[in-house]
Amino acid sequence: MTVGVCGLGLIGGSMAKAYKLSGHTVLGFDKDTATQGYASLAGIIDGELNEKNVSECDLIFIALYPQAAIKYLEGISPLLSKESVIIDLCGTKKQICRRGFDLADKYGFTFVGGHPMAGVQYSGIKYAKATLFKNAPMVLVPPICDDIAFLNKIKQMLSPAGFGKITVTDADSHDKMIAFTSQLAHIVSNSYVKSETAKGHKGFSAGSYKDMTRVAWLNENMWTELFLENKEPLLFEIDSIIKSLSEYRDAIANDDSELLKALLRDGRIAKKEIDG
């Protein structure tokens, strides 16, 4: 295949590396000229993705922030081949999928929403690696969820990335779930590490601290856009955890050992039932 990648940061750069390693021709574009130059010199891409060759791509990944992804897709839509498959890699799906499906209907190409559930706390092409997605989950939001032949085609096109489980859902369901599994975790981690006590943690912390604070090291520009785009589902999750934390706080403040024990037991049982 000829594969295009717009946005050569951690996710886009890793996708480019994975497909290049698998023997495909990779064209890439990043608005940052230093990143573009590095990708070319390092052999991550075979050439620049541009308006002249975008129609030659069998598969295009858009690895940009949601609003930038929509703008880019609007710009290239009239230029695409009707055989092209476009997969965005944004962290939210409702807005990009609504626009993507409309444009695909108008111009005849195929658009599928995508969200690779992989990454590290650092950003940029220098952290990109061909194995980033190996055995990682991938969420797909296709225009039709029950077309088995179509889904098999998309899964085959994604095979060079090495994903493990692929989940198919709709945009609303994706955004509601991601508010809990990803966005809330980033907010909790980011707020947790702001405690004054954190400044003296060395020598007193191990796995629990590392697990809780890993994603506090985030890209504030990207996550601000993602949080605000997914406002209502995220507010629901924030309100839910505030309510739950208040129950623990009140039990401790009131020396209510029975209530505290019950809260802790309920959490342990919930974890066992959910994850085994």
Q: Over the chain, what is the mean pLDDT? A: 96
| Residues 189 and 160 occupy one common structural domain | no
| Residues 192 and 270 occupy one common structural domain | yes
Domain that includes residue 30, residue range: 2-169
| Residues 16 and 64 occupy one common structural domain | yes
| Residues 227 and 212 occupy one common structural domain | yes
Domain boundary among 169, 184, 213: 169
Question: Token match 């620049």: residue?
Answer: 48
Q: What is the DSSP string of 150-211?
A: HHHHHHHHHGGG--S-EEE--HHHHHHHHIIIIIHHHHHHHHHTTSGGGGG-TTT--HHHHH
pLDDT of residue 133: 97
Domain boundary among 169, 203, 224: 169
| Residues 109 and 221 occupy one common structural domain | no
Q: What average pLDDT does this structure show over 260-276?
A: 96
Query: Long-range contacts: 143-150, Cβ < 8 Å, 24+?
Result: 143/101, 143/104, 143/110, 143/111, 143/112, 145/169, 145/170
Q: In the chain, what percentage of residues exceed pLDDT 70?
A: 100
Q: What is the pLDDT of residues 209-255, one digit of tens each?
A: 999 999 999 999 999 999 999 999 999 999 999 999 999 999 999 99
Our count of domains for the chain comes to: 2
| Residues 164 and 180 occupy one common structural domain | no
| Residues 79 and 191 occupy one common structural domain | no
CATH of the domain at 87: 3.40.50.720
Helices and strands (DSSP H and E) totals, the chain? 11, 8
Q: What is the pLDDT of residues 107-166, one digit of tens each?
A: 999 999 999 998 777 789 999 999 999 999 999 999 998 899 999 999 999 999 999 999
Q: Is the pLDDT of residue 33 over 80?
A: yes
| Residues 13 and 30 occupy one common structural domain | yes
pLDDT of residue 146: 86
| Residues 209 and 254 occupy one common structural domain | yes
* Residue whose C-alpha is closest to residue 104's, from 144, 53, 47: 144
Domain boundary among 115, 138, 169: 169
| Residues 104 and 182 occupy one common structural domain | no
| Residues 111 and 22 occupy one common structural domain | yes
**49 sits in which H/E element:** none
pLDDT of residue 120: 77
**Distance of alpha carbon 247 from alpha carbon 250, whole angstroms:** 5
Q: What is the pLDDT of residues 37-67, one digit of tens each?
A: 999 999 999 999 999 999 999 999 999 999 9
